[in-house]
Amino acid sequence: MKRGTLKSEAPHPQRQGSEALRMAQPLLAGFGLILRTYHWPLLILTLLYLGSGSTVVKPGQVALVLRLGRLVGETPAEQIHRPGFLFAWPRPLDEIVRVDVESVRSLEIDDLTYNPTGGRSVATFARRDTIDPEVDGYFLTGDRNVLQARILARYRVRDPIAWTFEQAQPEAALRDAILAAMVRTAGEMSVDAVLKSEGRTALPRLALERAQLECDRHRLGVELLALELPELRPPQQVQDAFSGVIDAAITAITVIEEARRYQATEVPGAKAEARRILSDARSTAEARTARARGEADAFRSLLAQAEKEGPLLRERLYRESLERALARVTLRLLPPPPDGKRYSDFRITVPF
């Protein structure tokens, strides 16, 4: 007996194709039956599916089309689709990303202020005497004073492509840029400059300019319109001390202003009164000096005359004195003086 090797026969390829075709014939027949029976509904569903990617871009919006995850278009003009009808393939081929580019968006930032809900009750927070860096936000001024602020940012999307694709979380990046700009700007100012009315305007303005430069550097594609500080104050733990200092400064300014107003009112009046008194004194001095000089001149003239005509002058003076003394007497009798210049038993009766 001859021993040989047993070989298994492989199926013939043509035979395999025939068997597969024979097995697929019922499926093809069923599919054809479905097409013949429901061809219009299937056609309508197919058209609806193909048209489901088309949409209308609303006013104030732009649209970006992603085809298999890649942005469609070579230039920004081709990539950004303005308001109007937009044709795109249905999912999963195309994806439409809408971006609002006209409305003003708001971003409230409270990282630089207290947070009473950070794991503690409000009552516990109110009793604290220190600042907990893990709970309370704050920033330092240039003279190392602690302040807290709540920031409200208003912005608009300027570059929808950069806003959508440059950063994974663009709003978080915007928040970080604003916080960094605010902290750095406040660190260049004193606490008095920040808390004054001018500082409340200058601080957000300078921080906005710095934050815009940071956003442009990181290509966030936004335009910062305004930074507002609805809350800017020292921490609650030192609020009373700050209020006392501010009240004292306001009182000092008020007293100084009142003193200046009093000075502006009273000093001119006092100077005018002083000029008037000096003028009156000079006039009085000149008048009295002139009168004294006239009396002195008259006395000197009288003295010279007395030296020349002594007896006659004495007689005239005697008579003038008597006339003045007896001006109210109705009966007058003027006896001559005696030879011895003395009267003996001489009486004058003056009736009233």
Tell me if 124 is assigned to some domain: no
Of all helices (H) and strands (E), which one includes residue 19?
helix 13-51
pLDDT top residue among 141 and 60: 141
Straight-line distance from the first to the last Cα atom of the chain, in angstroms, rounded to the nearest whole number:
209
Do 162 and 184 share a structural domain?
Answer: yes
Tell me if 310 is assigned to some domain: no
Do 222 and 206 share a structural domain?
Answer: yes
Tell me if 311 is assigned to some domain: no
Q: Tell me the backbone φ, ψ of residue 67, rounded to 5 degrees.
A: -110, 110
Do 184 and 227 share a structural domain?
Answer: yes
Do 60 and 78 share a structural domain?
Answer: yes
Do 263 and 225 share a structural domain?
Answer: no
Tell me if 213 is assigned to some domain: yes
Do 223 and 184 share a structural domain?
Answer: yes
Which of 278, 296, 314 delimits the end of a domain? 296
Do 289 and 261 share a structural domain?
Answer: yes
| Tokens standing for residue 176 | 């970080």
**pLDDT surpasses 60 at 352:** no
Do 210 and 158 share a structural domain?
Answer: yes
Tell me how many domains the chain contains: 3
Looking at residue 96, what is its pLDDT?
77
Which of 276, 296, 316 delimits the end of a domain? 296
Do 246 and 227 share a structural domain?
Answer: no
Residues 5-23, mean pLDDT to the nearest whole number: 52
**pLDDT surpasses 60 at 252:** yes
Which of 193, 217, 234 delimits the end of a domain? 234
Cβ neighbours of residue 295 closer than 8 Å, sequence gap 6 or more: none
Instruction: For residues 352 and 343, give the distance between their C-alpha atoms in angstroms, rounded to a whole number.
Output: 24
* Least confident segment among 17-31, 234-248, 288-302: 17-31
Do 138 and 83 share a structural domain?
Answer: no
Do 203 and 109 share a structural domain?
Answer: yes
My answer on whether omega of the bond before 92 falls inside 30° of 0, hence cis, is: yes
CB 62 within 8 A of CB 101: yes
Tell me if 325 is assigned to some domain: no
> By residue range, what is the domain housing residue 258?
240-296
Tell me if 32 is assigned to some domain: no
Do 91 and 182 share a structural domain?
Answer: no
Instruction: For residues 228 and 155, give the distance between their C-alpha atoms in angstroms, rounded to a whole number.
Output: 12
Q: Which pLDDT band, with edges at 50, 70 and 90, does 340 fall under?
A: low
- Between the alpha carbon of residue 216 and those of residues 159, 163, 170, 186, the distances in Å are 11, 11, 12, 21
Instruction: Write the burial class of residue 253 (CB in 10 Å: 0-12 exposed, 13-18 middle, 19+ buried).
Output: exposed
**pLDDT surpasses 80 at 199:** no
Tell me if 319 is assigned to some domain: no
Instruction: For residues 57 and 232, give the distance between their C-alpha atoms in angstroms, rounded to a whole number.
Output: 41
- Indicate the SS3 state at residue 236: helix
Dihedral in degrees, nearest 10, Cα atoms 248, 251, 257, 261: -150
Tell me if 65 is assigned to some domain: yes
- If phi over 0 gives left and psi between -120 and 50 gives alpha, with beta otherwise, what is residue 58? beta
- Between the alpha carbon of residue 169 and those of residues 34, 69, 97, 174, the distances in Å are 49, 18, 15, 9
Q: Which pLDDT band, with edges at 50, 70 and 90, does 282 fall under?
A: very high
311 C-beta neighbours (distance < 10 Å), count: 7
